[in-house]
Amino acid sequence: MLTQAELKQLIKESVREVLKEERLGLYELLIPYVSNEEMKEIKEKYGIPSNYDENEFVDMTEWVME
């Protein structure tokens, strides 16, 4: 049998998991559809991420996780 603390921890973890899944689904809904032609134009104009200088990026992991 689960203790009250174990049950509380299990519920917290389950709620976090569901919220994470829902947030990812929301991100997918908010990102607009891009056709192959549009994607080609974007790549021509901005290049591809592997060619970017990583020193120009800002790590926002902590901000996103709040």
CA distances from 17 to 12, 23, 40, 43, 60 (A): 9, 10, 35, 34, 21
pLDDT tens, position by position, 7-64: 999 999 999 999 999 999 999 999 999 999 999 999 999 988 888 888 888 888 888 7
**CA distance linking residue 34 with residue 43, whole number of Å:** 12
Q: Is 66 exposed, middle or buried (0-12, 13-18, 19+ CB in 10 A)?
A: exposed
pLDDT score at 66: 67
**CA distance linking residue 55 with residue 66, whole number of Å:** 24
Q: Is-above-0.75 flag for pTM?
A: no
